[in-house]
Chain A
Amino acid sequence: MLTEVLTGVTVVVGILLVITLPIAVGWRRLVTAVREAPVRIYESWPVIAVILAVLLANRVVRQQFPDGIVRLSGVFYAIEADFMLWVTSLVHEELIIYFSFVYVYGYVFLLVFPVLAYFALERAGPFQKLLVAYTLNYTIGPLIYLLVLAYGPRNMLVEIETVLYDFGPEYQHLTREVNRNTNVFPSLHTSLSVTIAIFAYQTRDRYPGWFVVAGLLGASVAVSTVYLAIHWVMDVVAGIVLAAISVAVAHHVVDDRQFVDRSRRAAVDWWRDSTVGIELREWWDGSSLATALRDRFRR
């Protein structure tokens, strides 16, 4: 059942990207980006390597993480139960469908689109900043999960009728794969959506349309987490704070050329001198992909 949901998400998001990317980015820029992909990847490879490592660690480690230490469900419940019941008392099937779609498909689209769109820009800055901000979200968020144990509203306010998993139990297979039900504070859905929206604002000259879409979609994602009773408002607020911190730090890190150069130099030294680096390089030099790439470059 997980496979079906995953396939569905891949297909829907794929279609959305195929439609939106050419409109927002333009064919010419896309073609250039594909042609220059190896160079651009090389230019940003430390940032790419770090985000991949963090995503992999999230995938592998987060299920094994111990639960948080401080239990906050009771506090959130005591403060917000009334508000949650009020928000979710607006039960309309159209709203549930819209927000479910936004929460599952819209969110994935929101995550993937700017990666590709910024990759297509001539300057690497926005792309690198986005990935650094993702990295920070995916590092700080899980660290807070280690500290705070809280259940979402759906786990306490059973009478809520807009719960995503009552509407589509199959989606729980996807979210269960990604996260545990004790990890709701902060809302990573919110923090990443807001991160993306902030960047969309900052790149509005290049992608004015995307700024509008990211703003509306990001806000919808944040609202959906509450409306579908997955997150408390506190989780959303914490998500927004996390996003602001991540974006600020990402700017600082990437704009600080010295820092970037130093990291790159350290990475290159490691690549050149360490045993693992040497072995990896030998493996890479001998691989067919590297040969193919080299051939392509020469032509």
Chain B
Amino acid sequence: MSGGAGRDGVDRRSVLGAGAAALAVGTSGCIDTVRSVVNGSDPTFSVSITTVPADDDRASIQIARRLEQRLEAAGANVTLDVRTYTDFLEAVLLDNDFELFVGPHPGARDPDFLYETLHSMYADEAGWQNPYGFPNVTFDDLLERQRDASPDERPAEVAAMLRAFVREKPFVPICVPEDHRLVRTDRYPGLEGTDLSSPTGYLGLDPSEPEHAETFTAIVTDSRPSVNQNPMAAEYRIHGPIPDLVYDSLAIVDGGEYRPWLAESWQWLDDDPEEPDGDAVDDSTSVPDRVDGSSAAGPTAEITIRQDCRFHDDEPVTASDVEFTYEFLRDTTLGRGDGPVPPTMYRGLGEAVHSAEVVGDRRLQVTFAAGVSVANRALTVPILPEHVWREEVESVADSNLPRRQRQWGPLSSSSVELIGSGPYTYADSDDRNHLALERFDDHFSFRVDDLPTPSVEELEFLVDPSSASAVQHVASGPVDATTSPVEPYAYGEATEVENADVQETASHRFYHVGFNVRRAPFRNPYVRRTIAQLLSPEAIVEDVFHGRARPVSVPVEESWVPADLEWRGEDPVSPFLGTDGELDEERARRAFETIGFRYDEDGQLVGN
């Protein structure tokens, strides 16, 4: 493209003006904490957009720049704040030090993930739980209702919650990208049929020659797993199968169903225990309403762990490890802090457990604070060895008791012993280069029929930040697959690799624009809606994702979206202020005026 006019049809000369402003702020020494100055002495509307560089995620920076150009066109002063993935997540999740951000969200199969994502109870916590600081008690009610609903009622409750979502726009979902992975088919025939986004994709691999059973090599474009493997460190995890290969969960999701994994079985202790799918939980047993967000007791399940399971250090896996895990997810100081210090991941899942009681070596009864379908989600958390983590918590707690999650070692430190009970153990790693996992020969899957086993001795994950180069690696042979999805720009080349297939798997990951609702202009839902109207998800899918994504107005699986919120070319509440991806500047400026902003003589947007 030429340098004069941006792709978005926005005159880029205005960017130069912002440049001078950015430089002025930059030289004052705090470029990364540029504040909204709407209420200060300078009344112009200034905002920074935090995102990651192209090496970390090509799509995010492109969406961020489009938003920057559109906001500039509407008269705002915009700076881009580009950070490494880890810094980005620290700023957004842990420090809440941002104004707008653009990035991927891991999403989830079940729309209940919005509970932890948006419940106002979590607005002051660090982590994936409500990083936006979105405070809306009416919306909280809707989140709780869908969570407590019985499976029959749930679709209607979810629909009601989603309708409020599109009106409130706590964040702007853009699209759900297709996940494509390039896999070689010569050394592992049938690899194209597995799902390498899930840990089970790495089990039961069937090598064509016995020597291929030694090492399975895959590429990750994200260097973070090679740097820190703490399963509780939100700033190093986002998606990907690696920690789940090391840490077993009670249940795994397979083909859209929750299936027993570390748990041999679970039984709902209700009128009709034969019905595990939750039909037994009718209206009379759904969770009673809560008062001020505290969880009330709902259905109870008796969970039995498989026989003779061991952690990687040969300690047995017992019911009390499971109980411990849920206790840790409620308060990671185990009662040693002034108040509970919640984790920065799995918050909503931990909250879905009301209480757990050990009733035998391998048995425990768990009472959930959610309806059965959400309760199942809580069975997917990684089970931590009590003997390792309790000791870690106690040794750290003596010297540094945390006020905030950010300073709490067990939630980010790489010193925690990385012991799980999963099919693979951590073997070694080299920062930003590689991570190797070794088979755990004592894993229960070897003893249970019909479960996939770790058939390959070593899984090696090589770090290569570029999808283009990842494709070259697979093409030239020593690498078997890409564990990270191939980014859309390299898709074409991926399809041309010989002896390899491009596999597509369901994805819940979505790109979004997040607001820091704690800060002045973004507190106002009309400001959020107007900013949403500057972007056309349809055009972004076409230009940034080469059509390989699904534009959305709500960030959940299609089956949960009510007919009135289905994507029909634009957002049902905040339609794009333009046509064919081109912003109509006049309309954008009028939209800001309608919600109380003014324009000064230079055409700069001024706060109200």
User: B19 is contacted by which of A67, A78, A89 (Cβ under 8 Å)?
Assistant: A78
Asked if A72 is at the interface (CB within 8 A of a chain B CB), the reply is yes
Docked Cα-Cα span, A81 to B54, in Å, equals: 15
User: Are A86 and B82 touching (Cβ within 8 A)?
Assistant: no
Asked if A70 is at the interface (CB within 8 A of a chain B CB), the reply is yes
On whether A170 and B16 interact (CB within 8 A), knowing A74-B22, A89-B2, A156-B53, the answer reads no
Interface size class of A (residues with CB under 8 A): 35 or more
Question: Could you say which residues of chain B place their CB within 8 Å of the CB of A169?
Answer: 466, 468-469, 472
User: B3 is contacted by which of A1, A74, A86, A154 (Cβ under 8 Å)?
Assistant: A86
B472 to chain A, nearest CB (A): 6
User: Are A78 and B15 touching (Cβ within 8 A)?
Assistant: yes
Docked Cα-Cα span, A1 to B464, in Å, equals: 11
Q: Which chain A residues numbered 66 to 115 have a C-beta less than 8 Å away from chain B? A: 67, 70-75, 77-79, 81-83, 85-86, 89
A234 to chain B, nearest CB (A): 11
User: Are B31 and A155 touching (Cβ within 8 A)?
Assistant: no
Asked if A203 is at the interface (CB within 8 A of a chain B CB), the reply is no
B435 to chain A, nearest CB (A): 16
Docked Cα-Cα span, A75 to B26, in Å, equals: 7
Asked if A202 is at the interface (CB within 8 A of a chain B CB), the reply is no
Give the interface segment out of A35-43, A47-55, A158-166: A158-166
Asked if A179 is at the interface (CB within 8 A of a chain B CB), the reply is no
CB-nearest residue of chain B to A69: B32
CB-nearest residue of chain B to A77: B80
Docked Cα-Cα span, A12 to B48, in Å, equals: 46
Docked Cα-Cα span, A159 to B20, in Å, equals: 24
Asked if A263 is at the interface (CB within 8 A of a chain B CB), the reply is no
User: Are B1 and A156 touching (Cβ within 8 A)?
Assistant: no
User: Are B84 and A67 touching (Cβ within 8 A)?
Assistant: yes
On whether A158 and B61 interact (CB within 8 A), knowing A1-B473, A1-B476, A165-B468, the answer reads yes
Docked Cα-Cα span, A181 to B29, in Å, equals: 22
User: Are A74 and B48 touching (Cβ within 8 A)?
Assistant: yes
Count B interface residues, CB 8 Å: 43
User: A82 is contacted by which of B15, B23, B54, B84 (Cβ under 8 Å)?
Assistant: B15
On whether A89 and B3 interact (CB within 8 A), knowing A78-B19, A169-B469, the answer reads yes
User: Are B84 and A85 touching (Cβ within 8 A)?
Assistant: no
Question: Could you say which residues of chain A place their CB within 8 Å of the CB of B26?
Answer: 70, 72, 74-75
B577 to chain A, nearest CB (A): 23
Asked if B109 is at the interface (CB within 8 A of a chain A CB), the reply is no
User: Are A82 and B466 touching (Cβ within 8 A)?
Assistant: no
User: A71 is contacted by which of B12, B32, B468, B472 (Cβ under 8 Å)?
Assistant: B32
CB-nearest residue of chain A to B54: A155
Asked if A151 is at the interface (CB within 8 A of a chain B CB), the reply is yes
User: Are B432 and A63 touching (Cβ within 8 A)?
Assistant: yes
Question: Could you say which residues of chain B place their CB within 8 Å of the CB of A64?
Answer: 431
Asked if B593 is at the interface (CB within 8 A of a chain A CB), the reply is no
Docked Cα-Cα span, A234 to B79, in Å, equals: 18
User: Are A74 and B82 touching (Cβ within 8 A)?
Assistant: yes
Asked if B310 is at the interface (CB within 8 A of a chain A CB), the reply is no
User: Are A156 and B80 touching (Cβ within 8 A)?
Assistant: yes
CB-nearest residue of chain A to B432: A63
Asked if A20 is at the interface (CB within 8 A of a chain B CB), the reply is no
Question: Could you say which residues of chain B place their CB within 8 Å of the CB of A86?
Answer: 2-3
User: Are B54 and A156 touching (Cβ within 8 A)?
Assistant: yes
User: Are B469 and A155 touching (Cβ within 8 A)?
Assistant: no
User: A151 is contacted by which of B20, B31, B48, B82 (Cβ under 8 Å)?
Assistant: B82
User: Are A74 and B80 touching (Cβ within 8 A)?
Assistant: yes
Question: Could you say which residues of chain B place their CB within 8 Å of the CB of A75?
Answer: 19, 22-23, 26, 31, 79
Docked Cα-Cα span, A137 to B16, in Å, equals: 32
Docked Cα-Cα span, A22 to B432, in Å, equals: 42
Asked if B83 is at the interface (CB within 8 A of a chain A CB), the reply is yes
On whether A74 and B466 interact (CB within 8 A), knowing A85-B3, A155-B82, A156-B82, the answer reads no
A230 to chain B, nearest CB (A): 12
On whether A159 and B1 interact (CB within 8 A), knowing A73-B80, A74-B31, A182-B84, the answer reads yes
Asked if A29 is at the interface (CB within 8 A of a chain B CB), the reply is no
Q: Which chain B residues numbered 443 to 479 have a C-beta less than 8 Å away from chain A? A: 464-466, 468-469, 472-473, 476
Question: Could you say which residues of chain A place their CB within 8 Å of the CB of B3?
Answer: 82-83, 85-86, 89
Q: Which chain A residues numbered 143 to 192 have a C-beta less than 8 Å away from chain B? A: 151, 154-159, 165-166, 169-170, 172-173, 176, 181-182
Q: Which chain B residues numbered 17 to 59 have a C-beta less than 8 Å away from chain A? A: 18-23, 26, 29, 31-32, 48, 53-55, 58
Q: Which chain B residues numbered 109 to 165 have a C-beta less than 8 Å away from chain A? A: none
Docked Cα-Cα span, A63 to B79, in Å, equals: 28
Docked Cα-Cα span, A170 to B140, in Å, equals: 50
User: Are B79 and A74 touching (Cβ within 8 A)?
Assistant: yes
User: A166 is contacted by which of B15, B20, B468 (Cβ under 8 Å)?
Assistant: B468
Asked if B87 is at the interface (CB within 8 A of a chain A CB), the reply is yes
B177 to chain A, nearest CB (A): 15
Question: Could you say which residues of chain B place their CB within 8 Å of the CB of A67?
Answer: 84, 87
Question: Could you say which residues of chain B place their CB within 8 Å of the CB of A157?
Answer: 65
CB-nearest residue of chain B to A79: B19
Question: Could you say which residues of chain B place their CB within 8 Å of the CB of A172?
Answer: 465-466, 469
User: A170 is contacted by which of B12, B20, B83, B472 (Cβ under 8 Å)?
Assistant: B472
User: Are A82 and B87 touching (Cβ within 8 A)?
Assistant: no
Question: Could you say which residues of chain B place their CB within 8 Å of the CB of A159?
Answer: 1, 7, 62
User: Are B53 and A71 touching (Cβ within 8 A)?
Assistant: no
Question: Could you say which residues of chain A place their CB within 8 Å of the CB of B80?
Answer: 73-74, 77-78, 156
User: Are B432 and A71 touching (Cβ within 8 A)?
Assistant: no
Asked if B585 is at the interface (CB within 8 A of a chain A CB), the reply is no
A121 to chain B, nearest CB (A): 41
CB-nearest residue of chain A to B82: A73
Asked if B81 is at the interface (CB within 8 A of a chain A CB), the reply is yes
CB-nearest residue of chain A to B80: A74
Question: Could you say which residues of chain B place their CB within 8 Å of the CB of A82?
Answer: 3, 12-13, 15-16
User: Are A89 and B54 touching (Cβ within 8 A)?
Assistant: no
Question: Could you say which residues of chain A place their CB within 8 Å of the CB of B62?
Answer: 158-159
Docked Cα-Cα span, A82 to B20, in Å, equals: 14
Question: Could you say which residues of chain B place their CB within 8 Å of the CB of A74?
Answer: 22, 26, 31, 48, 79-82
A62 to chain B, nearest CB (A): 12
Question: Could you say which residues of chain B place their CB within 8 Å of the CB of A151?
Answer: 53, 55, 82
Question: Could you say which residues of chain B place their CB within 8 Å of the CB of A81?
Answer: 12, 15
B84 to chain A, nearest CB (A): 7
User: Are B1 and A72 touching (Cβ within 8 A)?
Assistant: no
User: Are A78 and B432 touching (Cβ within 8 A)?
Assistant: no
User: Are A156 and B48 touching (Cβ within 8 A)?
Assistant: no
Question: Could you say which residues of chain B place their CB within 8 Å of the CB of A173?
Answer: 464, 469
User: Are B18 and A78 touching (Cβ within 8 A)?
Assistant: yes
On whether A154 and B469 interact (CB within 8 A), knowing A78-B15, A82-B12, A82-B15, the answer reads no
Question: Could you say which residues of chain B place their CB within 8 Å of the CB of A63?
Answer: 431-432
Chain B CB count within 10 A is highest, among A79, A85, A169, for A169
4 tightest CB-CB pairs across the interface, nearest first?
Answer: A78-B19, A86-B3, A155-B53, A169-B469
Given contacts A64-B431, A71-B82, A81-B12, 17 further A-B contacts (CB under 8 A): A1-B469, A67-B84, A70-B29, A71-B32, A71-B83, A74-B22, A74-B48, A78-B22, A78-B23, A82-B13, A85-B1, A86-B2, A89-B1, A89-B3, A155-B61, A156-B53, A173-B464
Can you name 27 A-B residue pairings with CB atoms under 8 Å? A1-B469, A1-B473, A1-B476, A63-B431, A67-B84, A71-B32, A71-B82, A73-B53, A73-B82, A74-B26, A74-B80, A75-B19, A77-B82, A78-B15, A78-B16, A78-B20, A78-B21, A82-B15, A85-B3, A86-B3, A151-B55, A158-B62, A159-B1, A169-B466, A170-B472, A176-B465, A182-B84
